[in-house]
Amino acid sequence: MRADHEYLHSSRRSRAGVRVGLLGPVAWRTPPRAYGPWEQVTGLLADGLVAAGADVTLFATLDSITAARLDGVCPGGYAEDSSVDGRIAEAMHVSYALARSGEFDIVHSHLDWLPLAFAEHCRAPLVTTVHGFSSPKILPAYRASDSSFVSISDADRSPDLDYVATVYHGVDLGGLPFAPSGGPGLVSFGRIHPDKGTHTAIEIARRAGRKLTLCGLVQDERYFTEQVAPHIDGDRVDFLGAVGPQRRAEVLGAAAALLHPIDFDEPFGLSVVESMACGTPVIAYKRGSMPEVVDEGVTGHLVSGVDQAVEAVDAIGAIDRAGCRAQARRRFSANRMVADYLAVYERLI
């Protein structure tokens, strides 16, 4: 952390007053009350940039909470109000923010592909953090736009695009206190969806003889009903739903390990880093960004298949939780993320 603080102290001198228009998503409030990883990262970045001396305007929902100057046209998140059409909300949001783009030294978008379709109307250098590609069909918007791109892991880079940097997400270490003891149970934290392997986590916990706590937004109702809900008994498998920031640290810190048996190429894995920051190691399938994020034997184990995962659960006590926390602190602090983005802005401006 000291290196981060020193970097940010120098940033205040050399980059004080850089005007940043931060274009956030509007599905949820920033920061989110429960689910909303893009909103979570954008909000943390906004506050960190302000602390580093930047002049930041955050375009987000108007109920957002931020140290930056808040602006926008959406009263609340469209995912929290069924009467709002998300397509309309995002279009109006982007139009409003880009109309103000001439007021900034740089515009930094965290809003997927839509701003790219109107990038020629942006009157400042535009940089886009690619939080993941929802479909290959959206790539034409990226290829045709006049934007610089930042990836959130090397594994998530598209060969069709040029990138200016990879910037790993940072987390609020102050909101993720160290839990030195953990507990005997396991936790699975993320969207309830086949991609996240929720049913596989249940199988791993069953074979390892450990209780499993499931946390996450149900994104696939049929999957939940058929493959997850029948196992929820409040004894061997507990389901808490989507949990907010305060409860998140409590649940992660109380576990022996986080299970992350993904069935897709994970772009980053924010809950993985949050778990490690609490001192709780991770057992993850070796896909996507996981080899970049998890340090084998230090912050967890990378496995292939249920058998290896069960073996990793049995051996998880050998990982030093204090060492796990320290490594997460070195690699994934919010200050480090802010410093990396300031370097990107300096390069592009």
Backbone φ, ψ for residue 106 (5° rounding): -155, 145
Instruction: Read off the tokens for 297.
Output: 């034997």
Return all residues near 191 (Cβ < 8 A) that are at least 6 apart. Answer: 35, 216, 217, 219
| Peptide bond between residue 180 and the one before it cis (omega within 30 degrees of 0) | no
What is residue 17's predicted lDDT score, i.e. its pLDDT?
81
297 class by beta-carbon count within 10 Å (0-12 exposed, 13-18 middle, 19+ buried): middle
96-123 residue pLDDT tens: 999 999 999 999 999 989 999 999 999 9
| Residue 276 tokens, joined | 């490690």
Q: Which CATH number does 2-170+333-348 carry?
A: 3.40.50.2000
First CA to last CA distance, the chain: 27
Output the pLDDT for position 90: 97
Q: Which residues contact 222 (CB under 8 A, 6 or more apart)?
A: none
Q: Do residues 273 and 169 lie in contact, with contact meaning Cβ atoms separated by under 8 Å? A: yes
Q: In this predicted model, what pLDDT tens digit does every residue of 162-189 receive, in sequence order?
A: 999 999 999 999 999 999 999 999 999 9
* CATH topology assigned to domain 173-330: Rossmann fold (3.40.50)
> Domain map of the chain by residue range?
2-170+333-348, 173-330
> Phi/psi of residue 60, each to 5°?
-155, -170
Decide: 93 and 26 in contact? Cβ < 8 Å.
Answer: yes
What percentage of the chain reaches a pLDDT higher than 90? 91
How many other β-carbons are positioned within 10 Å of the β-carbon of residue 209? 11
Do 2-170+333-348 and 173-330 show the same overall fold? yes
Least confident of 6-15, 114-123, 223-232, 273-282: 6-15
